[in-house]
A and B are shown apart, each in its own frame.
Chain A
């Protein structure tokens, strides 16, 4: 019985291969986009985990010197006094992060990737300072081999990219920091012999809040997009399954009447769907891998540019996301088929065999839908008003998108009714055009919702990227007000340069900075000269009066927005700084920088950090002289290419980073739009069977098939354009939530939103194109239909 029933059920798909193709394609695309995003996320997360577990920096407390200077001698002293500490020397060279450790005293809790793999010979080499460990992909990077000349680099797959793990002696040589130590790692397994000697302080291990939250936000963003794309794909699946259920109602009834129990029938249908889900899911996972592999170089660039985290640009196929992808395919199928399955389960054997038009949702359903939608929009408003945190932001987004999607059909029906009423006077065809569009609405509403979401995501992300870019350009103009930036190799060279430059340019502005701890987080303090350049251009968000005078006198500090928001420091608040606290006199925007930052006067900086040498200068000069001066500097002082940076170059570089940052979201957007177009095509093909009885009378009364096809095409394009009209405000709302809510929660700063009406034209073009492409094939089919097909509508024996 089971075999016969299953054969009967499956025969439907045999007779409707297009429906099956649509079902499988929708499911595979949905799963593909979803698992592609997951793959990218998984890959990036794995890279962070590698970066974070190096030396267990997040897990181990460390001892640092309050004045920043710690030596090997001091370490030896402490060690002799019974302190369970191990030295760590950390620094940068040629773009590489150099970590020097002392394997013999290193606490066991410090996870050192690669070390356990070393054989005793290699360990000897390592201790002797000849062998260093490097991530395999880093070895191939240009410049790395030169930087490690004379050493034997060995590949350690667990190391994060661009990181070199070496014995502390080798690191000293590499960094040119003889006898210096950055910090002492404390072995958590052993007690400390007493209170810390003066001049030392214990820094408690904290997860790197900034990086964690930033990267989380990026992944959350990607996941949100993946989910949106998945939802759009599931709309197709829902349409295909719904149609298949309706068309098979007579068969279900017959099977029940022939004695197949409802449970068996339900089980068979379920098994059939799960089979499809698994097949399409596998295809989808493969597709997702392809998408991810294609996008990954961009993602790596994105993360690298935004957060300074290096992600290897290769993709590994992970079992986890294959399983997750299949799980999503099954869950999506069940969600899309739930209603139909329920009906099969409850179907009485003598149910009516006439296929009810599957999608003809009555006005009542539409009203209920619209009410649910309005409810969701209200909830989104509530989350906006009363919620807090990143998740509240995403709750607002979800409520907004879903609510708007549900309201859409009701809204469209109203608009079409109004348009129809006005069209009455313009002729019978235009009256029919609108009335017919309204009649098609129930069957198309799922696809239109999908299109709405895809378009809104497009506007939202486009606006976000555009605002980002515009703000960033303006901000760079302010921040990089000087025409040329110079970096000297040595203090002596710096002095010579300064002396030579002073009479030749308008101003030479020294820039000094040091990495330090700002309120428990690693950050930077800058010292800047008292000059009109800063007064006129610095991007202050808020400031006390006379702010620059106070900073110049060393009586106040400026802080970046990130520090201000994270630490809740407003104007006038007192900021703890090495060498004494200062009041905050101004807050400035510092986009794209995850770390806290403070600025004090140049003299005050010199007093507080006498060890920091002045090596960098900003030069003010007429823009026309920049190139000539740079040429002379290179010739006269033998300055390397990288030592001279002109402002235009920095801007171009920074913008490139931002462009790449959002290339990923752009690609996802386009794909989502394509999926929405496919959903429309699926619905139109589905509807085309029931369209004939609506079209044939019009044809019989004197319209050509080509005319009808043209009207059908125009109707779909019109519906898509109307959807775009609705998508525009929705997308702008989406962007606003992303910029003013999510971004503040995730990045610590708020981005001013800007509108880009030029992009809206592109939105309408994309919507029209999606509608037109989706409607093209059904229209051509209609045009090519043999008259006999249309005549069948009038046949008496149906």
Chain B
């Protein structure tokens, strides 16, 4: 489903090139969920962005649902994001000019895979049915994140990438949102790669990996 092989990425800074990912490899099967942990600044988001085709690798290969990212141009990567990947960010990043209903359906309609029944189910399951005509700025953080999750799932993507989806929420609503998300991801049959700080949340996923000094390990170092 997802194959990441020896991926390297560095950023130019005032002190010269700083290596963030120094040869990262991982595999994720269909329907599997994986938690990615690591200290702040360890490169978790960077890895997620590379997998989503939002940025280009310096070395190594990534393939999503059988498509190799290196071979794609800008347009190809945009299509891959649109058709195969659902993204959930810590900041929610909804489209401010569209109401909740339009936000929910946005990616599915963009991909030409709008399924009214599934959308309605998502809206109801996420407790958004009464909020469809509101605008993002009129919602609480928890509500916004539920919209973002619904939006990512609406197109039934093969892979959900979530970057600290509950990082901006208090513990109670974070747990509630996480429960909803895991249930719906399972129902959609998608794979999930989720970055989180929380040991408790990481434990709820099938597997976990830890990013440190640019490399992955499956053991948490003391």
Is B91's beta carbon under 8 Å from chain A? yes
> Which residues from chain B contact A788 at a C-beta distance below 8 Å?
11, 55
> Which residues from chain A contact B105 at a C-beta distance below 8 Å?
428
Residue of B whose beta carbon sits closest to that of A436? B97
Pick the contact of A787: B54, B79, B109 (CB < 8 A): B54
Q: A435-B97, A794-B45 are in contact. Are A428 and B89 (CB under 8 A)?
A: no
Q: How far is the CB of B62 from chain A (nearest CB, A)?
A: 15
Pick the contact of A794: B82, B93, B109, B111 (CB < 8 A): B93
Pick the contact of A439: B52, B54, B79, B96 (CB < 8 A): B96
Pick the contact of A798: B79, B81, B91, B96 (CB < 8 A): B91
Q: A432-B98, A700-B54 are in contact. Are A794 and B91 (CB under 8 A)?
A: yes
Q: A700-B87, A701-B106, A701-B110 are in contact. Are A791 and B97 (CB under 8 A)?
A: no
Would you call A432 and B97 a contact (CB within 8 A)? yes
> Which residues from chain A contact B52 at a C-beta distance below 8 Å?
700
Residue of B whose beta carbon sits closest to that of A440? B97
Is A60's beta carbon under 8 Å from chain B? no
In the bound assembly, the distance between CA atoms of A693 and B11 in angstroms comes to 22
Interface centre among A429, A787, A797 (most CB of B within 10 A): A787
Residue of B whose beta carbon sits closest to that of A434? B97
Is A698's beta carbon under 8 Å from chain B? yes
Would you call A693 and B93 a contact (CB within 8 A)? yes
Is A438's beta carbon under 8 Å from chain B? yes
> Which residues from chain A contact B94 at a C-beta distance below 8 Å?
697
Would you call B89 and A794 a contact (CB within 8 A)? yes
> Which residues from chain A contact B91 at a C-beta distance below 8 Å?
793-794, 796, 798
Q: How far is the CB of A614 from chain B (nearest CB, A)?
A: 80
Residue of A whose beta carbon sits closest to that of B83? A702
Report how many residues on chain A are interfacial, defined by Cβ distance under 8 Å.
Answer: 34
> Which residues from chain A contact B102 at a C-beta distance below 8 Å?
424, 428, 431-432, 435
In the bound assembly, the distance between CA atoms of A438 and B81 in angstroms comes to 27
> Which residues from chain B contact A705 at a C-beta distance below 8 Å?
74
Would you call A698 and B95 a contact (CB within 8 A)? yes
Q: How far is the CB of A575 from chain B (nearest CB, A)?
A: 70
Residue of B whose beta carbon sits closest to that of A694? B96
Would you call B107 and A701 a contact (CB within 8 A)? yes
Would you call A696 and B93 a contact (CB within 8 A)? yes
Is A532's beta carbon under 8 Å from chain B? no
Would you call B163 and A428 a contact (CB within 8 A)? no
Q: How far is the CB of A171 from chain B (nearest CB, A)?
A: 79
Pick the contact of A694: B82, B90, B95, B164 (CB < 8 A): B95
Residue of A whose beta carbon sits closest to that of B109? A428
Would you call A438 and B97 a contact (CB within 8 A)? yes
> Which residues from chain A contact B97 at a C-beta distance below 8 Å?
432, 435-436, 438-439, 694
In the bound assembly, the distance between CA atoms of A702 and B102 in angstroms comes to 16
Is B75's beta carbon under 8 Å from chain A? yes
Q: How far is the CB of B9 from chain A (nearest CB, A)?
A: 11
Would you call A702 and B93 a contact (CB within 8 A)? no
> Which residues from chain B contact A124 at a C-beta distance below 8 Å?
none
> Which residues from chain A contact B82 at a C-beta distance below 8 Å?
701-703
> Which residues from chain B contact A693 at a C-beta distance below 8 Å?
93, 96
Q: How far is the CB of A441 from chain B (nearest CB, A)?
A: 10
Would you call A702 and B79 a contact (CB within 8 A)? yes
> Which residues from chain A contact B75 at a C-beta distance below 8 Å?
704
Pick the contact of B55: A424, A427, A787, A797 (CB < 8 A): A787
Q: Which of B67-108 contact A (CB under 8 A)?
A: 74-75, 78-83, 87, 89-91, 93-98, 102, 105-107
Q: How far is the CB of A427 from chain B (nearest CB, A)?
A: 7
In the bound assembly, the distance between CA atoms of A706 and B75 in angstroms comes to 9
In the bound assembly, the distance between CA atoms of A702 and B109 in angstroms comes to 11
Is A707's beta carbon under 8 Å from chain B? yes
Is B140's beta carbon under 8 Å from chain A? no
In the bound assembly, the distance between CA atoms of A487 and B163 in angstroms comes to 94
Is A790's beta carbon under 8 Å from chain B? yes
In the bound assembly, the distance between CA atoms of A459 and B194 in angstroms comes to 59
In the bound assembly, the distance between CA atoms of A705 and B98 in angstroms comes to 20
In the bound assembly, the distance between CA atoms of A694 and B94 in angstroms comes to 8
Is A795's beta carbon under 8 Å from chain B? yes
Q: How far is the CB of A779 from chain B (nearest CB, A)?
A: 16
Q: How far is the CB of B51 from chain A (nearest CB, A)?
A: 12
Contact with B along A174-202 (1 / 0, CB 8 A): 00000000000000000000000000000
Would you call A796 and B45 a contact (CB within 8 A)? yes
> Which residues from chain B contact A794 at a C-beta distance below 8 Å?
45, 49, 89-91, 93, 163
Would you call B107 and A702 a contact (CB within 8 A)? yes
> Which residues from chain B contact A697 at a C-beta distance below 8 Å?
93-95
Q: A432-B97, A697-B95 are in contact. Are A796 and B55 (CB under 8 A)?
A: no
Would you call B54 and A791 a contact (CB within 8 A)? yes
Q: How far is the CB of B43 from chain A (nearest CB, A)?
A: 12
Is B221's beta carbon under 8 Å from chain A? no
Is B23's beta carbon under 8 Å from chain A? no
Q: How far is the CB of B154 from chain A (nearest CB, A)?
A: 11
Pick the contact of A707: B78, B90, B163 (CB < 8 A): B78
> Which residues from chain B contact A707 at a C-beta distance below 8 Å?
78
Q: A701-B81, A791-B55, A794-B45 are in contact. Are A432 and B111 (CB under 8 A)?
A: no
Is B167's beta carbon under 8 Å from chain A? yes
Q: How far is the CB of B132 from chain A (nearest CB, A)?
A: 13
Would you call B74 and A432 a contact (CB within 8 A)? no
Q: Which of A674-731 contact B (CB under 8 A)?
A: 693-694, 696-707
Contact with A along B102-132 (1 / 0, CB 8 A): 1001110111000000000000000000000
> Which residues from chain B contact A798 at a C-beta distance below 8 Å?
91
> Which residues from chain A contact B151 at a C-beta distance below 8 Å?
701
Q: Which of A537-584 contact B (CB under 8 A)?
A: none
Q: How far is the CB of A431 from chain B (nearest CB, A)?
A: 6
> Which residues from chain A contact B11 at a C-beta distance below 8 Å?
788
Contact with A along B41-62 (1 / 0, CB 8 A): 0000100010010111000000
In the bound assembly, the distance between CA atoms of A701 and B88 in angstroms comes to 10
> Which residues from chain B contact A795 at a C-beta distance below 8 Å?
45
In the bound assembly, the distance between CA atoms of A724 and B98 in angstroms comes to 27
Interface centre among A428, A432, A797 (most CB of B within 10 A): A428
Would you call A702 and B55 a contact (CB within 8 A)? no
Residue of A whose beta carbon sits closest to that of B101? A424
Contact with B along A429-453 (1 / 0, CB 8 A): 1011001101100000000000000
In the bound assembly, the distance between CA atoms of A791 and B93 in angstroms comes to 11
Contact with A along B121-153 (1 / 0, CB 8 A): 000000000000000000000000000000100
Would you call B81 and A700 a contact (CB within 8 A)? yes
Would you call B78 and A703 a contact (CB within 8 A)? yes
In the bound assembly, the distance between CA atoms of A92 and B172 in angstroms comes to 100
Would you call B40 and A797 a contact (CB within 8 A)? yes
Would you call A793 and B106 a contact (CB within 8 A)? no
Q: How far is the CB of B138 from chain A (nearest CB, A)?
A: 13
> Which residues from chain A contact B54 at a C-beta distance below 8 Å?
699-700, 787, 790-791
> Which residues from chain B contact A435 at a C-beta distance below 8 Å?
97-98, 102
Residue of B whose beta carbon sits closest to that of A435? B97
In the bound assembly, the distance between CA atoms of A700 and B75 in angstroms comes to 12
Q: A431-B102, A702-B107, A797-B40 are in contact. Are A791 and B49 (CB under 8 A)?
A: yes
Q: A794-B89, A796-B167 are in contact. Are A704 and B74 (CB under 8 A)?
A: yes
Interface centre among A702, A707, A797 (most CB of B within 10 A): A702
Q: How far is the CB of B214 from chain A (nearest CB, A)?
A: 18
Interface centre among A427, A701, A794 (most CB of B within 10 A): A701
| A-B CB contact pairs (8 Å), 26 listed | A427-B109, A428-B105, A428-B109, A428-B110, A429-B110, A432-B98, A435-B97, A438-B97, A693-B96, A694-B95, A696-B93, A699-B54, A700-B54, A701-B110, A701-B151, A702-B79, A704-B74, A704-B75, A706-B74, A707-B78, A787-B54, A787-B56, A791-B49, A794-B45, A794-B93, A796-B167
Instruction: List the 3 closest pairs (A to B, CB-CB), nearest first.
Output: A702-B82, A428-B109, A439-B97
- Beyond the given pairs A424-B102, A694-B96, A704-B75, 16 more chain A to chain B contacts, judged by CB atoms under 8 angstroms and listed by A's residue number, are A431-B102, A432-B95, A436-B95, A693-B96, A700-B87, A702-B107, A703-B78, A703-B110, A704-B74, A704-B78, A793-B93, A794-B49, A794-B90, A794-B91, A794-B93, A794-B163
